[in-house]
Amino acid sequence: MPSFDLHELDPVIHGKLRLGLMAYLASAGSASFTVLRDKTGSTDGNLSTHLRKLEDADYVQIDKRFENRKPLSMVSLTETGRTAWINYLDKIQSLLSGN
**Who contacts 46 (Cβ-Cβ below 8 Å, separation ≥6)?**
17
Give the rounded percent of residues in the chain with a pLDDT score beyond 70: 93
- Domains within the chain, CATH numbers bracketed: 9-90 (1.10.10.10)
Which SS3 state, helix, strand or coil, does residue 3 take?
coil
pTM for the complete prediction?
0.88
Over residues 61-91, the pLDDT tens digits come to: 999 999 899 999 999 999 999 999 999 999 9
Q: 76: alpha, beta or left, given left = phi > 0 and alpha = psi -120 to 50?
A: beta
47 HSE (CA, 13 A, CB side): 20
Q: 47 near 17, Cβ under 8 Å?
A: yes
